[in-house]
Amino acid sequence: MQEAAITARGAILTRQRINRLALREAMAGYFFILPTLLSFLVFFLIPTISGLGMSLFDWDFFSEPEFVGLDNFSELARDKLFLRTLKNTALFALFATSGNVGLGMFIAIGINSIKWRWLKTFLRTAYFIPFVISTVVVALMFGFLLQESTGVVNYYLSRLGIVRIPWLSSSAWAFRSIVLIDVWKHVGFFTLIFLAGLQAIPSELYEAALVDGAGRRVRLTRITIPLLTPSLFFSLIIALIGAFQVFESMYVLTNGGPGDATRTVVMLLYREAFGSFNMGYAASMAVLLFFIILALTVTQVRLGDRWVFYR
């Protein structure tokens, strides 16, 4: 009885001590996350919630906001220009993502199978360099090189017997050029991610495969590619999220034209917000963009379970 009482008291005491310690730890925890949390609240959470709310209003910054419910969204569904930009953005995301990720993967596999170290390093560096140059500079540079009548690129193409290409002045080509420029800038980044994935593949697997007499192609399709799927999965997700927010190269190079061939959702959003001051309408575009990105990411994660090879 007595003994039991003593241990119970001890337990209470230690519990109190533990509580005090836990409290101290919790306080410390809050202290350490305070800057991040504060910034998160002020520049993310509150703006996001008000952004979501704003999409339900008609507001031009000058007069009182007027609640319109989901009108902005139903207007979006009928807005031909918006649908066009959405289509452009989706196509851009499709082509830029497959270009960046696909090419990045092949370059990485190529670089990885080269035996000379110096060449490996050189190639890795060469492909990565454009990534560190700002998009604006890249766009300005290509804008000059890709001029139709006086551009360098067309000159050399014409020497090769290829007709001059209206790189930035025809609707179809302007769109392609922008995808190409995007791939030029970002492919090295994805190459690096795949190279990292390749290095993580244990060499024993290849050795075992060699013992079994597996050829190059079998090794590629049975070992390399399956084991690269996590990198592929990650690349696809971040490439898509990035591509849906594309803005700069179009803004600098074509300003959305010719016609609306290269106008993206973010360009339209920027103009609606800070050009026409249709704040609510612009907010509804952003919200829709968010839901599209969310849906794509969730779908990818769901589908990823089926094809991504986890060890």
Interactions with another protein, residue window 13-72 (CB under 8 A): 22, 24-33, 35-37, 39-40, 42-48, 50-52, 54, 61-62
Q: x/- contact string, 206-245, with another protein (CB under 8 A)?
A: ------------------------xx-xxx-xx--x--xx
Extract the tokens encoding 261: 């061939």
Question: Residue 16 and residue 10: Cα distance in Å, rounded?
Answer: 10
- Shortest spacing between CB 11 and another protein, in angstroms: 20
- Shortest spacing between CB 59 and another protein, in angstroms: 9
Q: Residue 95 or residue 253: which is nearer to another protein going by CB?
A: 253
- Which residues ranging from 146 to 205 are in contact with another protein (CB under 8 A)? 147-150, 152, 155-156, 158-159, 164, 166-171, 184, 188-189, 192-193, 195-197, 200
Q: Residue 1 or residue 311: which is nearer to another protein going by CB?
A: 311
H or E segment at 272?
A: helix 265-274
CA 101 distance to own-chain centroid? 11
Question: Residue 154 and residue 17: Cα distance in Å, rounded?
Answer: 77
Q: Residue 8 or residue 133: which is nearer to another protein going by CB?
A: 133
- Which residues ranging from 81 to 110 are in contact with another protein (CB under 8 A)? 107, 110
Here the contacts of 80-84 (C-beta below 8 Å, separation 24 or greater) are 81/260, 81/263, 81/268, 82/265, 82/268, 82/285, 84/260, 84/263
- Which residues ranging from 240 to 269 are in contact with another protein (CB under 8 A)? 241, 244-245, 247-248, 252, 257-260, 266, 269
Question: Residue 241 and residue 304: Cα distance in Å, rounded?
Answer: 16
119 lies in the site for another protein, by CB under 8 A: yes
Residue 177 CB: number of other CB atoms within 10 A? 24
301 lies in the site for another protein, by CB under 8 A: no
